[in-house]
Amino acid sequence: MATPLRLNANRDVLCLQPSMTETAPTPQPDLDHPDSPDFSLDMAHSSFKPRLSWQSVFVGLMFVFMYLPILVLVVYSFNESAYSATWEGFTWEWYGYLLSDARIFAALRNSLTVAISAVAISAVLGTLMAVGLARYRFPGRQLYLGISYLPLIIPDIAIAVATLVFLAAVGFSLSLWTIVAAHIVFCLAYIAIVVSTRLADLDRNLEEAALDLGATPVQAFFQVLLPQLMPGIVSGCLLAFVLSMDDFLIASFTAGAGATTLPMEIFSRIRTGVKPDVNALSAILISFSGILAFVAEFVRYRSEAKRR
């Protein structure tokens, strides 16, 4: 009895990343307070009008807190004077500056190469791992499960150090592909977690029916299980992609000469202070990740709507 509980506790901690995709509640029971969702509020604060309570003001401030830095970056990217806080007028100059910067594009290409390769390989490894862990009981399963959580638990800096030291110890020369190898470690762990939450609420009967009707296990896997897992795999891949594109530490420890990724390039530019072209880059990346987040949520929404 202790085992599933422990697993749940674990998942509660670790799953937070999935951009809440998977932690978000599945179909909300709309029935508990059909007429007044604010019922408990009215009970607890009978003297207050619920609309503008101090709680909602505080929450509003926290939303401002979350978005202020992003807003600042975007606004500054259009500011003519890059180095002062005051508004000196509108300009596209920094964007032009950025678009003519070959180093940024080289770094972007490296980052995309790393992220796409790592995610592609991890999608296969992570999905297989999630299915294997969900479908089979075998000696050492608990240990395997523990190891599969390690990439999410051990701090990035320690993973980075360990990978670098190990690669040096076996005499493997660093390149772009050593970053890919290191990224697969955490990408597959995240994909496996997202896929396994999806696996947990799948209908096993479909797969068994396929087997009973004469499908081979391989056929059942590809034609019955995999299509059902797809939404989980896709959102796991998106998460892994974002994490891989975002990783600075592991990449900078495992990168070979010339294999500079985008976060490494950004880091080397901003550690000396505020840079206007980095502001422009931020604005572009923010729009891009906004779109990505939207796509991810759309995928989740659709898959949930289908399930109902």
Q: Of 35-54, which residues contact another protein (CB under 8 A)?
A: 37-41, 43-45, 50, 53
Binding-site member from 116, 120, 156, 228 for another protein (CB under 8 A): 156
Segment 159 to 198, residues that bind another protein, using CB under 8 A: 159, 161-166, 168-169, 181-182, 184-185, 188-189, 192
CB of 69 to another protein, least distance (A): 3
Reduced 3-state DSSP string for the chain? CHHHHHHHHHHHHHCCCCCCCCCCCCCCCCCCCCCCCCHHHHHHCCCCCCCCCHHHHHHHHHHHHHHHHHHHHHHHCCECCCCCCCCCCECCHHHHHHHCCHHHHHHHHHHHHHHHHHHHHHHHHHHHHHHHHHHCCCCCHHHHHHHHHHHHHCCHHHHHHHHHHHHHHCCCCCCHHHHHHHHHHHHHHHHHHHHHHHHHCCCHHHHHHHHHCCCCHHHHHHHHHHHHHHHHHHHHHHHHHHHHHHCCHHHHHHCCCCCCCHHHHHHHHHCCCCCHHHHHHHHHHHHHHHHHHHHHHHHHHHHHHHHC
CB of 286 to another protein, least distance (A): 5
CB of 131 to another protein, least distance (A): 6
CB of 123 to another protein, least distance (A): 11
Segment 217 to 276, residues that bind another protein, using CB under 8 A: 217, 242, 245-246, 248-249, 252-253, 263, 266-267, 270-271, 273-274
Segment 65 to 94, residues that bind another protein, using CB under 8 A: 65-70, 72-73, 76, 83-86
Binding-site member from 107, 115, 123, 151 for another protein (CB under 8 A): 151
CB of 165 to another protein, least distance (A): 5
